[in-house]
Amino acid sequence: MSRQLSTFRTARAALVLAALYVLAAKLAAPLTLPPGYAAAVSPGAGIALAGLMLFSYRLWPGVFIGAFAASLWLPKAGAVGAFDLSHLLLPATIATGASLQALLGRFASVKLDGLPFELITPLSIVRFVLVTGFLVSTVGASVGVTGLFAANVITADEIGFYWLNWWVGNSIGVIVFVPVLFALRGSPVESWGWRRWRITAPLVGALIAVTTIFFWAESQEEQDLEESFHARVQVIAESLDKQWATYMENLYGIRGFIGTTALWGGPGEMTSSRFRQFVSQNLSRLSGVQALSFNPVVMADQRGVMEEAMRARGYLNFSFQERSNTGELVQAGPRDKYVVVQFIEPHEENKAALGFDVYSNPARRMAMDEARDGGRPVATAPITLVQETESQAGILVFLPVYRTQVIPESIEQRRTQLAGFAVGVFRIGDLIRSAQQGLEIKNTISHLYDVSDEGQVHPLAAFGVDGRGQGAAVAAFPRPAPTATLISSQRLDIGGRVWRLEIWPEAGFFSGERSLISWIVLKGGLLLLAVFCAFMLTLTGRTIAETRQSKTLADLNQNLAREVREREEAQRELERLATHDPLTGLKNRRVFDQTLDEWIALFQRQKSPFVVCIIDLDHFKQINDVYGHLAGDAVLAEIGRCLSKSVRDTDVIARYGGEEFALLLRDTNAGGSASFLERLRHAVESLSVQVADHSLAVTASFGAAEYSDGATDAVTLMRIADEGLYEAKARGRNQIVLKSGNGTEERT
């Protein structure tokens, strides 16, 4: 409603309008796209237009002041460093666009529908939505985005994206908040008084619901992002594990090459060219490796002989070296024995290490002694490499090479038969960079620590990945910000040492990784809200209430139906887990025992004989010890599949515990079951279980007992079968011992 205001009242109303504009901008701030200008919904646009329409167009300075103040705290708007008037240019530009949009919106509404502003007919509602809402809102978006581009806040590629978001936000703000403010004021009464709560309550409630869904979707997206982050970190750790396994395979290859060439009856002595030819094949496909070398054990009386021999081969300056207390390379002092770098590749990059006595360093010596006595590869704690030219930490991995092809059994024999070490030289920064290649997580920092020594944490390497996915070593070890909540840690076993990999995101991680799904949800919801507003202007509150109630009930029914389905699925899964072994898929011991009791009870009525058999895998502990428990699990699963396929539908096969399986054969006795059990034993013996690069052959021993006299209970019957099993084991394994129900042996 237009009215004449005094200058004082006009100024006061303009300031109130400015304050409301700033408050609305603050409330809408969480719904803005970075850097904070384009809001998904702009209540200020609706407040500005409603103020000019409810009171007077003379309040436009209040719109300017409010928009100017609301823009001051945003990036590139307020002063940065020394104050400069240019810092006020962008807020002034945005405020100009907001003021022009409010004035043009008032003019269009009055011109099209006149005063009072009622929005009663469908035609007036359509004109308000299309012209005042969508068309006039292009003014503020166009002026504001032009200011952002001129101030270098956005790039040319981002103009269209920001303009669209700004325009949609202004349009929704006008379409939704102008009717709400008119309804709250209730003027004119005949048009808006009775609509006050019928329009305001549903629209405000819908707005809260949309924004709540947005924040929920954003939190779900953040949760998914965190889960994805942890999963990706685990992939990096697995990559590092696999890469380390490859390194160890190559060290074992060097040991075999050294042995077959010069130690175990090979064609002759090892030379630099032979070593280079063999190692270069491996280095060409390995990343993250500083060097591969062979370091022989040289006794004191052979030092001069080796030095002269190496000089005769062209290494004129070759001599045994060690580091002094000041860290300089000096001639090695006299000692009983040395472990010197004789062959190392790539040679040029690592020639500074040639002749270095690695046994002179306590950390290296400790690792070598452990590797020698254990017959396995052992890594050092973090050290500074002799050939290091930067500041990266390094490690050496020592694999003992003995004069015998088979690793000596006793520690004393290993010490006397030690010929030297196949050595892997690694720069840890290169190692983690290589492991992350192709798996980089943008805007993250990775830390690698050695935590093998109790109470001590040794930093190994720090690695950063920028927003373009480019990785680089980080000299210092920055710690996560105190507010950082997303840190992923993985444990690694490296050559007998325990490493910990920590990765956490930097500031740009979430904005770089997060999709626009939540924003699309918000925009879609707000556009629907605008349509909903126009629709409500033509309907009664009762109709709207019934519609909302129907939708709510439908959602509740859907959720209830989903919950029922989920509970049914969970119940089925619990029932399956209660009766079956998770590894093999066979029935578990509890089900087997129940079935055995049922068959015994059935025998009392039908005199139907049956046989119970216990099957135990031979030498299964050795499989676990040599190949690991994962290999053992693979063997058990394969045996379970074999047994399950071999028995009849009327028989019962179960995993009884550990490497034991139990079998119930219906309607048969010891004599009748013998041939079947022999086929079953042969089927197990014929299996070849593939584990990694190994093919494992497995045998099993069988102990069986028949139930045909009805005088034996379940416990006794199982004990008789178990005795048969142990007799089969004692007779050399991979055999079948069948017994009668009274324990006498029927057949082997």
pLDDT at 476: 52
**Most confident range, picked from 2-6, 33-37, 259-263:** 259-263
The CA-CA-CA angle for residues 327, 331, 333, to 5°, reads: 100
How far is it, in rounded angstroms, from Cα 715 to Cα 721? 10
More confident: 25 or 81: 25
Q: Residue range 554-574: average pLDDT?
A: 85
Place of tokens 């003379």: 58
- Which residue would you say has higher pLDDT here, 322 or 123? 322
Give 425-447 pLDDT, tens digit per residue: 888 877 777 777 766 666 677 77
How far is CA 431 from each of CA 45, 451, 460, 497, 609, rounded to the nearest angstrom?
A: 56, 17, 10, 15, 65
The pLDDT score that the predictor gives to residue 661 is 94
Please report the pLDDT score of residue 483 as a whole number. 42
Identify the residue with better confidence: 393 or 252. Answer: 252
Residue 291 clears pLDDT 70, i.e. is over it: yes
The correct answer on CATH 1.10.1760 for the domain covering 7-185 is yes
For residue 100, pLDDT beyond 80:
yes
Among candidates 145, 46, 143, 150, which has minimal Cα distance to 96? Answer: 143
Question: What local confidence, expressed as pLDDT, does residue 430 receive?
Answer: 76
For residue range 468-522, list pLDDT tens digits in order: 555 555 555 555 544 455 777 888 888 888 888 888 776 556 555 556 666 677 6
- Cβ-based burial of 636 (10 A; exposed 0-12, middle 13-18, buried ≥19): buried
How far apart, in whole angstroms, are the C-alpha atoms of residue 533 and residue 205? Answer: 12
Q: Quote the percentage of the chain above a pLDDT of 90.
A: 15
Over range 255-259, report the average pLDDT: 86
Q: What is the pLDDT of residue 664?
A: 92
Report, as an integer, the average pLDDT of 147-153: 84
Homologous superfamily of the 589-747 domain (CATH): Reverse transcriptase/Diguanylate cyclase domain (3.30.70.270)
Residues facing residue 747 across a β-bridge: 738
What mean pLDDT do residues 240-259 have? 86
Query: pLDDT grade, residue 192 (50/70/90)?
Result: low
Q: Up-side HSE of residue 670: CA atoms within 13 Å toward CB?
A: 24
The overall pTM is greater than 0.75: no
Query: Rounded CA gap, 508 and 453, in Å?
Result: 35
Max mean pLDDT range (30-34, 73-77, 103-107): 103-107
pLDDT grade for 1, boundaries at 50, 70 and 90: very low
CATH topology of domain 270-428: Beta-Lactamase (3.30.450)
Q: What angle is formed at CA 29 by the lines to CA 28 and CA 35, rounded to 5 degrees?
A: 140
C-alpha angle 171-177-182 in degrees, rounded to nearest 5 = 130
pLDDT digits (tens, 9 = 90+) for 371-391: 999 999 998 888 777 666 566
Q: Across all residues in the chain, what is the average pLDDT?
A: 80
Instruction: Check pLDDT > 60 for residue 732.
Output: yes
The predicted-structure confidence for 598-612, as pLDDT tens digits, reads as follows 888 888 888 888 999
- CA dist., res. 33 & res. 234, Å (int): 32
pLDDT band at 83 (very low <50, low <70, confident <90, very high): very low
- Residue 423's DSSP bridge partners are 293, 398
pLDDT at 541: 36
H/E run at residue 720: helix 714-730
pLDDT of residue 650: 87
Residue 159 pLDDT > 90: no
Nearest in space to 489 (alpha carbons), one of 524, 433, 445: 445
Q: Which residue has the higher pLDDT, 549 or 536?
A: 536
**Residue spans of alpha helices (H) in 294-382:** 303-312, 347-350, 362-374
Query: How far is 346 from 291, CA to CA, in rounded Å?
Result: 6
Report the percentage of the chain scoring pLDDT > 70: 82
Q: Nearest 5°: CA angle at 63, between 60 and 64?
A: 95
Spatial separation of the C-alpha atoms in residues 706 and 723, rounded to whole Å: 13
